[in-house]
Amino acid sequence: AAEWGYSPTNGPDVWARLFPQAGGARQSPVDICTSIASSDSNLEMKKLTFAYESQSDLRILNTGHGWKVEAPQSGSRLEGGPLGEDIYQLEQFHCHWGETSAEGSEHTVDGRAYAGELHLVHWNTTKYQSFAEAAQHPDGLAVLGVFFDVGNESNDEIEKIVSTLSEIKFKGQFTDIPDVIDPTTFLPSGLGYWTYLGSLTTPPCNECVIWIVYKEPITVTEEQLVQFRCLSACSGEAEEFIVKNYRPPQPLGNRALRECNA
């Protein structure tokens, strides 16, 4: 089957041909129009809480669509906020970027794109027995989105990722990250967020994600983003760099967009 991607012939505009869900009514990402975000009081009451383990030797792989760190953490917990009474567990994290730092995030804020976006993917272990099963249900996954701003100080945690990328230049390659990774360090200091019901932002675009997008970006350097763009989408000699891997915003439709100023 033709491999989906981000070029004009296999990109977001044609995904719905191969993946019907991509044309659904609760797709992600969306443009976060801050004027319509409702500050929902009961979000304030149920504080969003997270607890992660620090892990070393996490496996990072080149998926052909970017890098992905497999981080199944049975000891992790994400709960509260928009997640009702269920507990969600970290499964993996990855990110999206663009050809230049003027673009790259998937969600936009009042039409403004950030230079990139990190996704921490969790699944509902209260209700479902596996990640794959959870991805088939409307409340199966919870993804934390964190925007990247470009600045002068390099992000030490992201640097642990960047330092492995030369070993996974080609699609299908993987390696272990020797450093200890603590997912908490990827989160901004300000914990205000927007939340809405959406989907995976890549095929199969399952409408199974409760999105939680932090308002405050974290800072990375241009050099770190340049390294992301050196990954190859192909498995062999042919070099087709993964210079962009973000889906543009999809219609919010009549979905509620809520905000919490933690």
Ligand X SMILES: CCN[C@H]1CN(CCOCC)S(=O)(=O)c2sc(S(N)(=O)=O)cc21
Length of the chain, in residues: 262
**Contact of residue 164 among Zn ion, ligand X, none (CB under 5-8 Å per partner type):** none
Cβ contacts of residue 31 below 8 Å, gap of 6+?
107, 108, 109, 110, 111, 249, 252
Closest approach of Zn ion to the CB of residue 236, in Å: 26
User: What are the helix (H) ranges across 145-256?
Assistant: 156-162, 222-228
Residues 3-62 that bind ligand X (CB under 6 A): none
247 binds Zn ion (CB under 5 A): no
Size of the site for ligand X (CB under 6 A): 14
Q: Is 65 noted as a catalytic residue in this protein?
A: yes
In the bound state with ligand X, the residue whose beta carbon lies nearer, of 151 and 255, is 255
65 binds ligand X (CB under 6 A): yes
Is residue 245 exposed (0-12), middle (13-18) or buried (19+ Cβ within 10 Å)? buried
Q: CB count, 10 Å around CB of 63? A: 17
Eight-class DSSP state of 2: P
**What whole-number distance in Å separates Cα of residue 218 and Cα of residue 94?**
15
Q: Which stretch binds ligand X (CB under 6 A): 34-42, 53-61, 107-115, 199-207?
A: 199-207
119 binds Zn ion (CB under 5 A): yes
129: part of which helix (H) or strand (E)?
A: none
Q: Which stretch binds Zn ion (CB under 5 A): 29-37, 112-120, 133-141, 169-177?
A: 112-120
Eight-class DSSP state of 246: -
Catalytic annotation, pick one of 65, 94, 107, 119: 65
Q: Which residues bind ligand X (CB under 6 A)?
A: 63, 65, 92, 119, 121, 132, 135, 143, 200-202, 204, 206, 209
Q: Which residues bind Zn ion (CB under 5 A)?
A: 119
